[in-house]
Structure 1
Amino acid sequence: MTATLADRGPQVSAVAGLFFALSTIGVILRCYCRAVVVGAFGLDDWFAVIAWISFTFFCSFAITGVHYGTGRHVADIPLEDIPVVFKWWWACEPVYVLSNMALKLSISIFLLRLAVTQASRIIIYVIIGVVEAYSAFYFLLSVLQCRPSSYFWTRYAGGTGTCVNPKITIDATYAYSAISCVADWGLGLMPILLIWHIQMDMRTKMSVAAILSVGAMYVPPEPTVPYPLNPQTTNPLPAPRPQQSSASPSSRTSPTSKISSTSPPTSPSGPPSKLASASPPPRPRPCAHSSRAAT
C-alpha cells in the first residue's frame, strides 16, 4: 500500500528501527567493555541489558502495529484491523514503562558510584525514587485501565467490559512525561556536579562532564493529541464524513459511522499521543519511546 500524507507508519518504523539499532550497538559495546576489558559486570550493566530487552519488545510491537495501521488515522484503517491495531498499541505501553524503569535504574546506579558527597547521593535517590514509584503506578494503570484488559481492543469487535475515565489516563500520561523529563535532565546534568570539585584542570573537567552528560542531549517528546478529541465523548473515532451524493442518508454510511453506531460507550484510555490516531507512544515516552534506551 502506498503511504499517504496522513500515514505516519513509515516514520514510526524508521524511528523504532533506528533507535533499536543504536541501542543494540551501545549495549554490545558496553557489555564487551565491562565483562571482557574491565572484568567487572555490575548491577547497572544488568539493568542496561534488561532495558534493552524491554526496548526490543517495544520496537517489535510498534513495527508490527504499523503493519496493521498504526500511524494512520483511524478512519483510514480497515474495520477488521482496528482491534488488532489497538491490541499492539496496548502491548507497547507496559514494555515501554519497564524499559524506562530499568534504564533510569542503570543510570542512577552508575552515578552513585561517582557520587562522593551526601547531597549528590540524596538527589540521585530522590530522583530515582520518584521515577520508579510513579512508573510502577503508570505500569499498573496501563495494564489495568480496562477490565478485562482485552476490552481495550475487543470493544471495537463487540466485546464487553469497562475502562477507566480516559481523562485519568491522559492526565497520568502528562504527569509521567513531566516527571521523566525532569529526571532525564537531572540525571544527565548530575555528572557536572559530581566532578566539579575533582582536582583537575578546567579543560579536563569540561571534557569529562560533556562525555558523562551526553544523555542530556536527549529531549523527551511531549505527549500530543494529533487529532482533536473531547475526552468526555463516548466515541473515540472521528465523526462520519459528510456525504456529497444525493443518496438517502439511511442508504449510505461511511465506515466510521458504522463503528460509531456499534462502539461501546467508552473511549480508549491510552496516552494522549495515541488517542484517535492509532499511533504508539515513541512515549511518554514520557520519554516514550527513549533514544537512550539501554545504552
Structure 2
Amino acid sequence: MTGQLTDRGPAVFAVTLVLIVSATCFMILRLISKWGVTRKATADDYCTIMGWVFAVALSVSIMIGTSVGLGAPDSEIKPEWVTPLKRSVYAFTVFYNPAIMATKTTILILYWRIAEVPRFFRYASLVTMAIVLIAGVVLTFLSIFQCRPVDAAFSMVAGTCIDIVRLHLSSTPIGVLTNLTILLLPLPILTSLRMEFRQKLILVATFIVGGFITIVNVVRIVYLQEALKEELLIDLWGSITATSLLRRLGYVLGYQ
C-alpha cells in the first residue's frame, strides 16, 4: 500500500544544517585545543580542514537543493526548478566522496603518527589510507565525469550517463571495510592501556559507537537496491543519473 508522498525538504534542510554546524563547532574546538597546547600544525590538521571544506560544500548544495524541490514529490517540482535541482544534486554527488576521503585520511594519519605502537598498526594504517585515497579519487572522478558530455549531468543537454546507483552499490563494500578497519585497528591498543576497567570500557565503547556509520552504509545499500529495482521496473535498459536517483529515492522513502 502506497501512502501519500510528502515534502521532506524542510526536514532535510534542518538535519543538514544542524549536522554541519555541529561539525564546524567540533572542528574549531579541536584545532583550538591542539594548536593551543602544541602550537604546531600537523598533516591530520590540514586534512581535517579539507574534509570540513568539502562537507560545507556538500551541505550547502543540499540545502540549496531543498529550495528547488530536493526531497519533494515529482508532482510538486516546478519546471523552472529542474535545472537548478540537477545542479544541486550533481554538486553534492561530486563533493560526497572527497569529504569522506579526507575525514578517513585524517583519522589514519593520526593512527600513523602515534609513536609507541606496534609496527603492524602503522603499516595497516598506511595500507588502509592508500585504499581510501585510491577509492576516493577514482569515485570522485567518476562522479565528476558521470555524463558525456559532462554538462549533461547538471543541465538540459542530452547525453549518456553512467548508472549512479550501480556505482554507489559497487563502492559501498570498500567503504564498509575501511570503516570497520578504522574502528577495529586501535582496539587491541586501547584494551592494553593501563587504566581502570571502567575507564577502559568507556573508551572502547566510544570507538564502537562509531560503528553507527557502518550501519548507515548498510541501510543505504538497502535503499539503493530499492531505488534500482524501481528504476528497472520503469525502464529495464535505462541508466540512473543523479537526478533520476533522487526521484526514485523520493518514491522509496515515501513508500508505506
- Give matches, 1:163-242, under 5 Å: 163-164=161-162, 166=163, 169-211=164-206, 214-218=209-213, 219-221=215-217, 222-223=220-221, 224-225=223-224, 228-230=230-232, 233=235
- Whose radius of gyration is greater, 1 or 2? 1
Counterpart CA distance in 1 for 2:246 and 2:189 is 38
Closer, same or farther: CA 92–230 of 1 in aligned 2, 3 Å: same
Does residue 35 of structure 2 align to residue 35 of structure 1?
A: yes
Shift of 1:73: 2.5
Counterpart CA distance in 1 for 2:234 and 2:77 is 23
- Give matches, 1:67-106, under 5 Å: 67-106=67-106
- 1:68 is paired with a residue whose SS is coil
- 1:276 is paired with a residue whose SS is helix
Counterpart CA distance in 2 for 1:180 and 1:118 is 24
Contact 2:165 / 2:240 at 8 angstroms: preserved in 1? no
Q: Tell me which residue corresponds to 2:159.
A: 161
**Could you tell me the TM-score, scaled by structure 2's length?**
0.82
Shift of 1:99: 0.8
Counterpart CA distance in 1 for 2:39 and 2:174 is 35
- Give matches, 1:259-278, under 5 Å: 267-270=239-242, 274=246, 276-277=248-249
Counterpart CA distance in 1 for 2:51 and 2:178 is 16
Measured against aligned partners, the alpha-carbon deviations of 1:79-122 in whole angstroms (never above 9, x if no partner) come to 22112211110011121111111101100011223361122223
Q: Tell me which residue corresponds to 1:253.
A: none
RMSD: 2.7
Counterpart CA distance in 2 for 1:134 and 1:216 is 20
* Structure 2 gaps, min length 5: 252-256
Which range moved further: 146-155 or 270-279? 270-279
Q: Tell me which residue corresponds to 2:139.
A: 138
- 2:210 is paired with a residue whose SS is helix
* Structure 1 gaps, min length 5: 236-265, 280-295
Counterpart CA distance in 1 for 2:72 and 2:246 is 11
Counterpart CA distance in 2 for 1:60 and 1:127 is 30
Contact 1:148 / 1:161 at 8 angstroms: preserved in 2? yes
Q: What count of residue pairs does the alignment treat as equivalent? A: 240
Higher RCO by CA contacts (8 Å cutoff, separation 6 or greater): 1
Shift of 1:25: 0.9
Contact 1:191 / 1:213 at 8 angstroms: preserved in 2? no
Q: Tell me which residue corresponds to 2:60.
A: 60
More helix as a share of residues: 2
Shift of 1:203: 3.5
Letter matched to residue 83 of structure 2: P
The structure 1 segments of at least 4 consecutive aligned residues displaced by more than 6 Å after TM superposition are: none
